[in-house]
Amino acid sequence: MKKSILIPTMFIILAGVFIYTSNIFGSQHGPDYKAVTDSDLVWHDYEAPGFEPGVQFAVVHGDPSVPDEPYTIRASFSDGYIIPVHYHPTDENLTVLSGTFMLAMGEKWDASRLVAYRPGDFIYFPAEHLHYAKTRGPTVVQIHGIGPYDTILVDDEMAGH
């Protein structure tokens, strides 16, 4: 008898909490609240030494160039895009949104070491860890961290690739 009362009671309480918090947050967005739809994004070609054409990026939130400030960006890669060996001076958090992002850690390009990550997969890169990647199919990833965001190539010639 207790089980049959407990479950509906918990459901009613949880529903009430959900409705209450939805009303509070839904109607009282503060000045720091920001919602971004996919159509709001402004995409730019990524033009940097050592990177071939075929990459675009969009800033979702923040300014990735500002030290000690959070940022979120998206990067869109063409099918088969090769990301050379590089590192970032700050930690990087990456989530695959679409396509297949194939990644490996190391200082030399080695396609046999690539591991495929698919939509929903998350990857954390500690600062200054060398890595490289390749895409399978058009691929979009979302990256967030604490600025400044920078990409430092290890070898402009991509030796061994």
Residue 101's alpha-carbon distances to 23, 42, 56, 61, in angstroms, are: 38, 22, 15, 22
Which structure tokens are listed for 75? 């990067």
Q: Which two tokens stand for residue 102?
A: 């194939």
Task: Look at residue 18 in the predicted model and tell me its pLDDT.
Answer: 46
Contact 121, 96 (CB under 8 A): yes
How many residues would you count in the chain? 161
Q: Which residues make Cβ contacts (< 8 Å) with residue 39, sequence separation at least 6? A: none
**What is the pLDDT, as a whole number, of residue 4?**
53
Omega before 148 within 30 of 0, i.e. cis: yes
Q: Which amino acid is present at 129?
A: H
What are the φ and ψ backbone dihedral angles of 11, each rounded to 5 degrees? Answer: -60, -45
Do strands 131-146 and 70-77 pair parallel, antiparallel, or not at all (unpaired)?
A: antiparallel
* Closest C-alpha among 117, 83, 120, 82 to residue 100: 117
Mean pLDDT, the chain cut into blocks of 10 residues (161 residues total): 49 47 54 87 93 96 96 98 96 98 97 98 96 98 97 68 43
Dihedral sign, CA of 153, 155, 106, 133?
positive
Q: What tokens were used for 126?
A: 């500690």
Which amino acid is it at 34? K
